[in-house]
Amino acid sequence: MAVHVWGLVAIIVFYLLIFILGIWAARKNKKKGKEATSEDILLAGRNIGTYLGIFTLTATWVDGALISGVAEGIYTSGLSSLSMPLGYCMSTILAAFFFVKKMREGNNVTMLDPFDRKFGKIMTGFLFLPALSGDMFWCAATLSSLGTTLTVVVGLDHWIAITVSAAVVLIYTLFGGLYSVSYTDVMQMLFIFVGLWLAIPFALSNPLMTSLSETTEKWVGTLPNHDISTYIDILLQLMFGGIPWQVLWQRALAMKSSRLAEVMLYAGALGFVVCTIPPLLIGMVAVSVDWNATAYDGELPFPADDLKLIAPLVLQYVCPFVVSLIGLGAISAAVMSSADSILLSSSSMFSNNIYKPARMGKASERELIWAMRVFMTLMAILTTVLAIEITSIFALAILCSDLVYVILFPQFTSVLFVDGANIYGSIAGYVLGLIIRVLSGEPLLGLRAVLRWPWYEAETDFQPFPYRTGCMLLSFLTILLVSYVTNVAFLTGWLPRRYDVLNGIVWYSESKPKEPSDENWSAQNEKNEFVDLEILPRRKMEVNEAEDDGSEEVSRLEQEPLTSN
C-alpha cells in the first residue's frame, strides 16, 4: 500500500504536538533535586483539579478500542455491542457511589494498597497479576486500533504505526508521570470530540448512503434467545469488572478531596456517553453504505480479519480525505490518551506494591522511580507485540476485564467492605476463581470447556449459562466462607495461635483502652498506647478534605480520638 504523504505529514505534526506538550508538562511540574518523590509522579501531588480530572478520566475511557470496537460491533452484531460502553459507564458511576470514600480513607497511593495492609505483600503480588493482564489486553487492543487506522488512512505498515505510537507515548509518560498524562489528555480529548463529531455529518450525507431508517434491521441487529444470558453475563462483567482498575483510581486518588473525586467520576461517565455516539453512528454508516460503489477495492463482504478496520474504512472511503485525517487525529488521540494511562497504571502498581516491599523499605525514591520506568518500558514492548498480532479489537476489549471481574472484583470488594476478610479467604477465593474460570473455557482464546455449566451445548462448545458471573460469585462466597471459618477457628481456640502461619487473623488485646479526656486528639493519642497507627494518616486526610470543602467538621475531627472502636 502506498504511503499518503500529506497524511503522513499530518500525523507527524500531531505526534509532535502531543510529545512537546507532554515534555512541557513534565518540566513545568517537576520538583527540584531530591524533593521529587514517586508519589508525586503517580498522583501529581494529589492536586489534580476538577476539570482536569474530568478531561483525563474521559480521555482514558474513550480509547481507540472503544471507537474501533463499537463501530466493529455495530457492523457485526448491532446494538447489542453497546454492552461495552454501557458497562464501563455504569462501572464508573458505581465506583463513585460506593467505593470512592472507602478508597480515600486509607490515604492510598494505588488500588493495591488496601490489599497490602490487610493481606500482606505476597498476596498483593498475586493480585497484581490479574490487574496486569487486564492492562496488557487493554493497551494491546487500543494500540491495535491505531495501527489499523494508520494503515488504512495513511498507508503505513501496521507494525510501524503501532511501534512509533507506543514509543511516543512511552517517552513523555516516562518522565512526566501523571502530570504529562493529564495535560496531554486535555488536548487529546479536544481532538477526540471535535474530530469524531466533525466526521459524522459528512458520512451521513454521502450520496452512496442508504437512509438509516431503511437499514434499521441491519444496525439494530437481533439477539437470539439463547444468547440473552451471555449478553447479561458480559454486561455484568463490564459493569463490575470495570471498577478495580488502577487507571480509574489513579485519578480518584489524585483529586483534592473525596467530594471532588465523586464529581469527577460522575461527569466522566457523562462524557463517556457523549463520546460513544460518534463510533455508534460510524458503525451504522458502515452497515448502510453501498461499498461496491465506493473506491474500496477489497474483498466484500469483509473477511473476519478485516472487521477491525470498519471505523478507518468509513473515514477513508465515505468521508472527504481532509475529514478522514481529522478523524484519524481523533482516533490517534484516543489511543495515546489511554495507552499512557495504562502504562502509568501498571508501572505504579509494580513500583509501589511489588518492588518497594521486595526491597524491605530500603529503596530510595529515585530507585522507585527508575523501577517504575524500567517496568513501563517492558510493558510497552510487550503490549506492542500483542497489538501487532491481534485479530479482533472488540473481542480483546471484552476479554481484558475477564480476570479482573472473576478474581479481582470480589477481592477488592472484600478488602474494602468486609472487616472479617483475611488472607486465608483471599487465597482460597483466588485459587478457586482462577481454576473454575480456566476450566469453563474461553472461545476467544480457543480454550474448550472442561467444566460444563447448566445447558452446555457440546456440539458448539457453547455455555449459555452466565458462567463468568458464576465464577465471580463462587470466588466471592469462598472468600467470605473461608475467612469466617478461619476467624472463628482461631479466635475461639479451636486452632492454636501458632497455626496462624500467615498472620492473617486479627488478634485483639484482652485489655481495653482508656477513654482519653484531653480535648486535643493529637496530644491525647501520643499518650495512648492503644491507638491504631493506621488511623492517623486517614484522620489527617479527613481534616484536609474538610478544609478543602469549607466544612464545619474540621473542629469535630480534630477533637475526635484516634482510638479504634
Residues 109 and 218 in one domain: yes
What is the C-alpha separation between 63 and 60, in angstroms, rounded? 6
Does the residue 285 lie in any domain? yes
What is the C-alpha separation between 186 and 51, in angstroms, rounded? 9
H helix intervals, 205-309: 216-220, 228-241, 246-254, 258-288
Residues 325 and 395 in one domain: yes
Residues 6+ apart with CB under 8 A from 117: 106, 534
Residues 365 and 426 in one domain: no
Residues 334 and 206 in one domain: yes
Does the residue 540 lie in any domain? no
Residues 433 and 334 in one domain: no
Residues 169 and 32 in one domain: yes
Residues 266 and 143 in one domain: yes
Spell out a b/e string for 397-414, using b for 16 or more CB atoms within 10 Å of the CB, else e: bbbbbbbbbbbbbbbbbb
Cα 54 from chain centre: 15
Among 356, 372, 401, the domain-final residue is: 401
H helix intervals, 100-157: 100-105, 113-119, 121-153
Tell me 218's DSSP state: H
pLDDT number for residue 35: 52
Does the residue 532 lie in any domain? no
Q: Residue 180: which CATH number?
A: 1.20.1730.10
Residues 6+ apart with CB under 8 A from 319: 199, 202, 203, 206, 327
Residues 225 and 363 in one domain: yes
Residues 369 and 500 in one domain: no
Residues 457 and 339 in one domain: no
Residues 449 and 377 in one domain: no
What is the C-alpha separation between 249 and 111, in angstroms, rounded? 6
Count structural domains, the chain.
2
Q: Which domain holds residue 377?
A: 5-401
What is the C-alpha separation between 478 and 482, in angstroms, rounded? 6
Among 352, 370, 401, the domain-final residue is: 401
Q: What are phi and psi of 442, to 5 degrees?
A: -150, 105
Residues 362 and 456 in one domain: no
pLDDT tens, N- to C-terminus, the chain (565 residues):
566 777 778 777 877 877 777 777 667 655 544 455 556 555 555 667 777 778 778 877 777 667 878 888 888 888 888 888 888 899 999 999 999 999 988 778 889 999 998 998 889 999 998 888 888 887 887 777 777 767 776 777 778 878 887 887 787 777 666 666 766 777 777 777 788 888 899 999 999 998 888 888 888 887 666 678 888 998 898 899 889 988 888 888 888 888 888 999 999 888 888 888 999 999 999 999 999 888 888 888 888 777 877 888 898 889 888 888 888 777 777 777 677 778 888 888 888 888 888 887 777 878 888 888 899 899 889 888 888 876 555 566 566 678 889 999 999 999 999 999 999 999 999 999 999 998 998 877 777 889 999 888 888 888 889 999 999 999 999 999 999 999 999 988 898 888 888 888 876 544 444 444 434 434 434 434 334 444 444 545 555 555 555 555 545 544 554 444 3
Among 401, 427, 445, the domain-final residue is: 401
Does the residue 539 lie in any domain? no
pTM of the model: 0.77
